[in-house]
Structure 1
Amino acid sequence: MLNPIWLNTFVTLINTGHFTKTAEKLFMTQPGVSQQVSKLEQACGFTLIKRDKKSFDLTEQGRLVYDYATTLKKNEQTLLEALAFDNPHAGNCTIACSGSMALLLYPALLDLQMSHPSLIIKLTAAPNHQILNDIQKSNIELGIVTDVPNMREFDINKLANEELCLVLPKNIAPTGTLAETLINQGLVDHPDAKHYLSMYFEQCQEPSLKKLVPTDIPVVSYINQLSQILSPVAKGLGFTVLPKNALENFAQKELLTVIKPPTPVIETLYTVKKKNRTLPERYKALINVIHKLTGD
């Protein structure tokens, strides 16, 4: 790589047309200017200027080097200008969250993108462990999770609380205790079901559920599309546990029964990003939408 200091001296010399003026402009001595030009010629392997007493002319090789150096300087300036401008309404925004949160966020994020067409929002529905893994690998910039990750690897902020709902078919006939009813009914499984069930059993204070674990319950169906999880329950098949906002977005709520526990089951949501990562300006609008929708 050609020495950028020599190139700058050479370009200044050509622009001023004089060794003394170049030396003054660059706060150098005239012999210093001559020495740097000579070093540049040695590095290129060609004579760049033909000296004639106090004047000089560019050789063809010198003209090529001059054009290269000036283009290099313009490109550098363009780069610096681009680095200095962080467009708040343009560029990619990558975010991952649970399926239920994606249902809540996506319409509003589409509206944001419609307002700013140069903003490209990429939303992924995924479980907690995948979200954290993708953030660590820089596949996504921002995640919404329910488990507090390792604070040495991530920056986290509390976002909001959401209620978990135990959902059964409408007018279901109880078969003994609630735990027995759930076992007889069977679980409509989904990617977050085991996590939600464990939290529900632990927090709800329903006596029959205290000793129940998710593996005690047979699975009658599995679906990884959140919008379809409540469909089998509405048809009388199985039960499931989902965040309240997923239930509110279901069109046939009249076909469902939500069990009211002695103590509401609340899950805390957190925004998470890579440790010490400063997000671009365009994420501010996206984060504002998230806070508005979650009621924080």
Structure 2
Amino acid sequence: MINTLWLRTFCTLVEVGHFTRTAERLHMTQSGVSQHVRKLEDQLGAELLVRQGKHFSLSGAGERLYNEAQDILRALSNLSRQVGEDPPYEGEVRIMSPGSVGLKLYPHLLALQRAHPMLAIDYRFAPNSDVESGIADSRVDIGFMTSKSALADVICKPVAQESLLLVTPAVVEDPDWGALMKLGFIDHPDGSHHANLLLGANYPEFQHSNLFPKKGFSNQIGLILEPISMGLGFTVLPQYAVEAYGKQKQIKTYRLENPVSETLYLCVQRERRLQARVETVIAEVMRWL
């Protein structure tokens, strides 16, 4: 493999045409310039300069090397610059969060990408455990969780509070205990957990979501409220998921006497330096939370 330092010295010598001035440009001694050229000739096994006292001309091998070296040195220079660059609106940003906050943030991040087409948003909806492992394994740049990570490699910062809401069909006038028992529960992956938090704080009769007749289940965050809108049951969901639902007139939400919220954490890997584009996305996210 050609030593690029020697190659750069050789090309500079060809362009300047003088050993002393080449040494001055490269902040070297004249003997250092000569040594680089000799080492390059030894490495290639070919004479590159035809020396005539203090003057020189290029040999055939020297001409061929110089012509080929221009593209090589230019590519190395561009590579160095590109690696060192950290543009705030270019490149991929990988994000993972529970579905509720994802429904809130994803449209705004797509609008950011539309304004800056060189930015690529990769957004995945996942439970807290998957978000946590994704951050720890460097598969994710930014994660949002509704519980603080216990892993030493994951830093979590509280950034928002998200209310839990009781959601019934629009025709329900009073969501008392009897009305909820009559409706039955539409479950989802966090349904039992959310019901325990909100209903446990507001209904003395509540012990577990299994007390209610089970009227359905969906693991698609955008579809959980479909059966509620059709009068088939009730559920408990985070506020962002409810706000994103498109049929607001067909559902009714309740902020109960004892409100309950989940803390939303912004999570990143402890040892990883955040690139400028990741900082851009974080700043955009904070505008909407």
**For this structure pair, what is the TM-score category when the shorter chain's length is used for normalisation?**
0.7 to 0.9
Cα deviation for residue 232 of structure 1 reads 1.2
Q: Distance in 2 between matches of 1:34 and 1:192?
A: 73
* Among candidates 234, 253, 276, match of residue 281 of structure 1: 276
Segment of structure 1 superposing worse, 12-21 or 255-264 = 255-264
Q: Distance in 1 between matches of 2:60 and 2:137?
A: 49
Q: Distance in 2 between matches of 1:3 and 1:251?
A: 63
Cα deviation for residue 242 of structure 1 reads 0.5
Q: TM-score, normalised to structure 1's length?
A: 0.81
The unaligned stretches of length 5 or more in structure 1 are: none
* Contact 2:155/2:270 (<8 A) preserved: yes
Residues 30, 251 of structure 1: alpha-carbon distance in 2 compared, 3 angstrom cutoff: closer
Letter in structure 2 aligned against 1:78: N
Which residue of 1 is the match for residue 33 of structure 2? 33
Q: Distance in 2 between matches of 1:166 and 1:147?
A: 21
Q: Distance in 2 between matches of 1:154 and 1:67?
A: 51
The unaligned stretches of length 5 or more in structure 2 are: none
Cα deviation for residue 201 of structure 1 reads 5.4
1:4 aligns with 2:4: yes
* Contact 1:206/1:262 (<8 A) preserved: no
Cα deviation for residue 157 of structure 1 reads 2.0
* Contact 1:155/1:276 (<8 A) preserved: no
Cα deviation for residue 146 of structure 1 reads 0.6
* Contact 2:141/2:278 (<8 A) preserved: no
Which residue of 1 is the match for residue 164 of structure 2? 164
Q: Distance in 2 between matches of 1:62 and 1:199?
A: 78
Segment of structure 1 superposing worse, 214-223 or 75-84 = 214-223
Letter in structure 1 aligned against 2:21: K
Which residue of 2 is the match for residue 145 of structure 1? 145
1:206 aligns with 2:207: no
Q: Distance in 1 between matches of 2:286 and 2:26?
A: 54
Which residue of 2 is the match for residue 56 of structure 1? 56
Q: Deviations over 1:25-81 (max 9, x none)?
A: 445444443333222112112222222333322223222332344333322332343
Which residue of 2 is the match for residue 74 of structure 1? 74
Q: TM-score, normalised to structure 2's length?
A: 0.82
1:250 aligns with 2:245: yes
Cα deviation for residue 131 of structure 1 reads 1.8
Residues 188, 57 of structure 1: alpha-carbon distance in 2 compared, 3 angstrom cutoff: same
Q: Distance in 2 between matches of 1:219 and 1:60?
A: 86
* Contact 1:50/1:58 (<8 A) preserved: yes
Q: Equivalent pairs: percent with the same residue?
A: 36
Segment of structure 1 superposing worse, 67-76 or 181-190 = 181-190
Q: Distance in 2 between matches of 1:191 and 1:123?
A: 19
Which residue of 2 is the match for residue 46 of structure 1? 46
Segment of structure 1 superposing worse, 125-134 or 162-171 = 162-171
Which residue of 1 is the match for residue 101 of structure 2? 101
